[in-house]
Structure 1
Amino acid sequence: MAASEARGRAASATSERTGARGGVSVLRVGLALPLLVVALLPQAFAGGGTRRWFGGRGEGQRAEAQAAKDAAAASFYELDTAQRGLRISIETITAVDGSPEARRAVENFEALGRRIDEVSLAYITAVDAHDLDRDELDAATASRARGELTRAKEELDRVRGELERFEQGLGPLLATAENQLARLAPAAERARQALREASAALDAVREAGLRADDLAARLASLGPELTRLNEGAGRHGVPDTLQRADRILRDAEAVRAEAERLPQRAAEIDKRLVSLRTRAEALTTRAGAVEPVLSELRRRYSLACWQDLQHVPEQAAGTVRQAEERLREATTAREEQRWPDATAILSTVRALLDATDEAVSAAGDRLRRLDAVAKDPRAEIERARFAVRDAQRLAMEGRTTPDPRHARPLDEAVARLDRAVAGLEGRHPDYWHFLTELEAVRASAARVVGLIREERGAGQQH
C-alpha cells in the first residue's frame, strides 16, 4: 500500500477503533450464550455442523491482539491529527516568513512527513495482515498480531514525540507569523480609512475655492497601490501587503495633513507677500540714505576705511529691484495656486532683502564704529587685552609653564595687538584696519580658551 494511502485512511481509523472495541464486547456475549445453550441442551446440535470455539488461552490472545489493535489505532489517529495541526502552523509561517530559518523548518517538516508515512504504512500493513474476527484465528497468530500491532503503536508514538518536539521548536517563528497575520486586516483597514479621510480633506479644500492639484495627483497615484492591497495577501504575500498598507497609510495621512493645512498656508503666503513688499519699499528708502553716509566716511577717514562700501548704493538698488520682480512672480504663483512655487520664490525674496539690509546697515555701522574708536581707542584696546589675559590665566592653571600649543597663539595675539596699537600713531591712521586686527586678536584668544576647556573636559571623562 502506498504511503499516501496511509493518509487517506486516517478518518476510517477512528471508526475502526471504535468498532473494534464494540466488537470485543459483542464477541464475548456471543461466546457466552452458545456455551450456556450447549450446557443446557447437550444433544441440540448432534446432527448438524459445529463451530470451532477457542476458550481459555486462545480467547485471551485474541482479546489482547484486539486491544493492541485498538491502542495502535488510537496512536495512528493522534499522530495524524497532530500532523494536520502542525501543517497548518507550517503554512502560517511560510505565508509570512521567507527567511532561511523558516525554509529549514519546512524542510524538517517534510522529512518528518516522510517518516510519518513510513510508520503509518507499517501500522496499516499490520492491520491488514491480521483478521482478528476470523473464526479460525489460532493463539499463535493472535500473539503474532499483537506483537506487530504493539510495535507499530510504539513507532507511531515515537514519531509523534518527535513531531511534538519539532512543534515546540517552532514557537518563536509561529508567534511572529501569527502576529503579522493578526496585523494584516487592521493595517489594511487603517490604510483604506486614511485614503477616505484624505479624499474628504481634499473635497473640503476644493469647496473653499482652493484647487490643490498637486495633492490630488499624489492621492490619485495611490490608486494602483490600493488595488494591490485589495487583491490581498494571498496574491502578494503577507510581508509585501503589510508594507503596502503602511506605505498607503503614511502617504495618505501626509496628503490629508497638507490638505487640512492648505487654507492656513494660503493665508501665510498672503501675509508674507504683504510683509516682504513693505520691507522692499523700506529698503529702497534706506538705500537712498547710504550715499550721505559714504560722503561722511570719505571726508573724515582714509580710503581703506570705506572703499569696500562705495558700491553699496547701486548694489542695494539693484537687489531691491530684483526682489520686487520676484515678488510679482510670487503673486502670480499665488493667484494660480501653485503653492510650492510661491513658497520657494518668497524664500528667495527674503534672502535678497536680508543681504540688502545687511549691506545698507554696514555703512551706518562702519561710521559709528570709526567715530567711536577715533574719539577714544582705549576701550577697544582694553577689550582685546582682557581677552588675551583671560586666556593666559586659563592656560597657566595648575601648570608652571604653559603648553606650547596654547602659548604660541597667545604670544602671536599679543604681538598683533601691539602692532595694531602702534599703527594708530600715524597722521592718517587706518582705524578700520585697527578694529579688524583687534577682532582677530579676540578671536584667537577665544580659540585657545575653547581648546583648553575641550582638553580638560576630555580628561575628566577619562
Structure 2
Amino acid sequence: MTATHAKPQARAGASSAVSDVPVSRHGRGRGVGDVLLLMLLPVPLLAAALPAAFAGGGTRRWFGGRGEGQRAEAQAAKDAAAEAFYELDTAQRDLQISIETITAVDSSPAARNAVDGFAALGRRIDEASHTYITAVDAHDLDRDDLEPSVASRARSELSAAKDELLRVKVELDRFAAGLGPLLGTAETQLARLAPAVERARQALLAASNALDAVRASGLRADDLAARLAALAPELTKLNQGAGRHGVPETLQRADQVLRDAEAVRAEASQLPERAAEIDKRLVTLRTRAQALTTRSASVEPVLSELRRRFSAACWQDLQPVPEQAAVNVRQAEEKLKEAAKARDEQRWADATSRLSTVRALLNATDEAVSAAGDRLQRLDAVAKDPQQEIQRTRFAIRDAQRLAMAGRHTPEPRHAQPLDDAVARLDQAVTALEGRHPDYWHFLTVTEGVRQTAARVVSEIREERGAGA
C-alpha cells in the first residue's frame, strides 16, 4: 500500500492508520507514523517530545565550534562595553553634582570655565554613548541564525565603542581631579552655611531675650529695640535660603546678623550696669563741680600775691583764670542738668555725651586753678635759691655730653650742636637773673626747655647705638 492509499484508512481511525501504513524505502512512512503517535500523546508529553521529533527538520542553522566562539566573544565585548558605559554614566552624574556645588557658591571666572569644560565633556560623552547604543542596537546576539561574520563585526564595533567610552572616562577623571581646589572651597562654604545661619538665628534669639530681661527691670532700651527690629528683614532673607540669595551672600548676611545681634545682646546685658555707672558719674561730677567752685575763689588771692612780688611777665598769662574758671563751672553745671534729664529719659548715649563734656570742662578748670598755685610755689622756690634749678639743668646737659663722647674722641655734630646751644641758652638765662626785676618765669621756662633738649639728644644716641648693635 502506497502512501496515497493509506490516506482513507488514516481517516477511518488512528489505530488502523498506524498499523496499516507501510514503511517506504526512504523512511517517509515512518515519519508520518511518528507524527500521528505524537498527536495521541498527552499535552505535556507532546511539548517535551516535539523538539526531539523535529531535530532533523527545523530552520535553525547550527554552526558549533568556531561559530559559537564568535558569538561568545561578541557577547563578552557587549558586556564590557555595557560596564564601561555604566562607569562613565556614574562618573558623569557624580561630576554633575560637583559642578552644581561649585556654581552654587562660586561665580568667579575659574568656576565659569569649569562649567564650560563640563559642557564640552558632556558633548564628548553624548557622542561616545551614541556610538555604543548604536552598536548594541545593530546586533542581536541572541538570534538563532546569527552568522559568524556578523558576530565578529558586532564584537569589533562593541570593542571600539568600549574603548571610546574608556577614553572619555579618562578625560572625565582628569577634569574632575582639576576641580579639586574649586570643589574644596565650595564644599567648605557649604559646610559653613547651615551652622552660620543657625548661629545667626540663635544670636537674634539671645538678643531678644536680653532685651526682654532689660525691659522687665524697668529700662526701655528703645534704641536697642529699634536696632533689633531692623534685623528682621535680614532674618527673613536667611530663612528664604541660599537657593534664592546665593551661598556667598547668605554666608555674609549670616555673619553680619550675628555681629549685629551679638552687639545688641551685649549692650542690653550691660545696660543696667551702664545706668548705674551714669548715676554714679552724675553724683561724682556734681561734687567735683562744687569743689572747683570753692577752689576757684582762691585764684584771686594767688594772683594778688604774684602781682605784688614778681614782674608782670610772671603772672600776666594767669589773669583770665578766675573768670574762665567761673564760666567753665557754670557750663559744667548746665551740662550736668542735661545729662540728668537724658538719664531720666533713658537716652543713654546723650547722657554719656553730656557727662564727657562736663568732665572736659572740669579738667580744664582744675588745670587752670592748679596752675596759679603751682606758679606761685615754683617762683617762690627759684627766687629763694636759683642755684638748685641751675645745677639740675647743668647736670642734665653734662649727662648728655658724657653719653655723646662715650667711645669717641669727638662727638657727632648732630649731637654736639644742640647741647652747645643748650649751654648758651642756660648761661643767658642765668645772666638775666642779675637784673633788678628778674623774670623768674622766663628763667624756669628756659631751664625746662634745656632739660628737654638734653633728654632728646640722649634718646637719639641710645636709639642709634641700639640699632647699630
TM-score by length of 2: 0.88
Matches within 5 A, 1:2-81: 44=54, 48-81=57-90
Q: Deviations over 1:174-222 (max 9, x none)?
A: 2221121111111111111111110111111111111111101100010
For 1:375 and 1:82, how far apart are their aligned partners in 2?
100
Determine which of 426, 443, 447 is the counterpart of 1:438: 447
Please state if 1:206 is matched with 2:212. Answer: no
Please state if 1:365 is matched with 2:353. Answer: no
Choose 173-182 or 330-339, whichever is displaced more: 173-182
Please state if 1:85 is matched with 2:85. Answer: no
For 1:78 and 1:304, how far apart are their aligned partners in 2?
101
For 1:66 and 1:311, how far apart are their aligned partners in 2?
114
Please state if 1:196 is matched with 2:205. Answer: yes
Please state if 1:273 is matched with 2:287. Answer: no
Q: What code does the residue aligned with 2:251 have?
A: L
SS of match in other structure, 1:425: coil
Matches within 5 A, 1:128-277: 128-277=137-286
Q: What code does the residue aligned with 2:157 have?
A: E
For 1:106 and 1:440, how far apart are their aligned partners in 2?
73
Q: Deviations over 1:65-95 (max 9, x none)?
A: 1111111011111110110111011111111
Matches within 5 A, 1:295-306: 295-306=304-315
- The structural deviation recorded for 1:172 is 2.4
For 1:433 and 1:409, how far apart are their aligned partners in 2?
20
Please state if 1:456 is matched with 2:465. Answer: yes
Determine which of 318, 328, 336 is the counterpart of 1:327: 336
For 2:59 and 2:382, how far apart are their aligned partners in 1?
144
Cα pair distance change 1:45/1:115, threshold 3 Å: closer
Please state if 1:389 is matched with 2:361. Answer: no
Q: Match of 1:104?
A: 113
Q: What code does the residue aligned with 1:151 have?
A: A
- The structural deviation recorded for 1:394 is 0.9
Cα pair distance change 1:449/1:44, threshold 3 Å: closer
Q: Deviations over 1:3-39 (max 9, x none)?
A: xxxxxxxxxxxxxxxxxxxxxxxxxxxxxxxxxx99x
Q: Deviations over 1:346-367 (max 9, x none)?
A: 0010000000000000111001
Q: What code does the residue aligned with 1:440 have?
A: G
Q: Match of 2:430?
A: 421
- The structural deviation recorded for 1:44 is 4.9
TM-score by length of 1: 0.89
Q: Deviations over 1:375-401 (max 9, x none)?
A: 001110011101111111111112111
Which protein has the larger Cα radius of gyration, Structure 1 or Structure 2?
2
- The structural deviation recorded for 1:169 is 2.2
Q: What code does the residue aligned with 1:436 have?
A: T
SS of match in other structure, 2:142: coil
- The structural deviation recorded for 1:324 is 0.5
Whether the 8 Å contact between 2:84 and 2:166 is mirrored in structure 1 is yes
For 1:49 and 1:330, how far apart are their aligned partners in 2?
116
Matches within 5 A, 1:284-299: 284-299=293-308
Q: Which ranges in structure 2 are unaligned for 5 or more consecutive residues?
A: 1-48
For 2:435 and 2:55, how far apart are their aligned partners in 1?
158
For 1:333 and 1:73, how far apart are their aligned partners in 2?
82
Determine which of 364, 376, 381 is the counterpart of 2:385: 376
- The structural deviation recorded for 1:49 is 4.2
Q: What code does the residue aligned with 2:133 have?
A: I
For 2:71 and 2:90, how far apart are their aligned partners in 1?
29
Identity of aligned residues (%): 77
For 1:160 and 1:441, how far apart are their aligned partners in 2?
86
Matches within 5 A, 1:390-405: 390-405=399-414
For 2:66 and 2:459, how far apart are their aligned partners in 1?
105
For 1:259 and 1:191, how far apart are their aligned partners in 2?
17
Q: What code does the residue aligned with 1:185 have?
A: A
Choose 330-339 or 126-135, whichever is displaced more: 126-135
SS of match in other structure, 1:131: coil
Q: What code does the residue aligned with 1:313 have?
A: P
Whether the 8 Å contact between 2:60 and 2:145 is mirrored in structure 1 is no
SS of match in other structure, 1:399: coil
Q: What code does the residue aligned with 1:121 have?
A: H
Cα pair distance change 1:274/1:57, threshold 3 Å: same
Choose 355-364 or 157-166, whichever is displaced more: 157-166
Choose 257-266 or 110-119, whichever is displaced more: 110-119
Higher relative contact order, chain-length normalized (CA < 8 Å, sep 6+): 1
For 1:387 and 1:319, how far apart are their aligned partners in 2?
39
Cα pair distance change 1:51/1:287, threshold 3 Å: same
For 2:422 and 2:430, how far apart are their aligned partners in 1?
12
Q: Which ranges in structure 1 are unaligned for 5 or more consecutive residues?
A: 1-36
Cα pair distance change 1:45/1:123, threshold 3 Å: closer
Cα pair distance change 1:50/1:398, threshold 3 Å: same
- The structural deviation recorded for 1:105 is 1.7
- The structural deviation recorded for 1:45 is 5.2
Q: What code does the residue aligned with 2:207 have?
A: A
For 1:49 and 1:63, how far apart are their aligned partners in 2?
23
For 1:188 and 1:278, how far apart are their aligned partners in 2?
51
Whether the 8 Å contact between 2:85 and 2:165 is mirrored in structure 1 is yes
Q: What code does the residue aligned with 2:298 have?
A: A
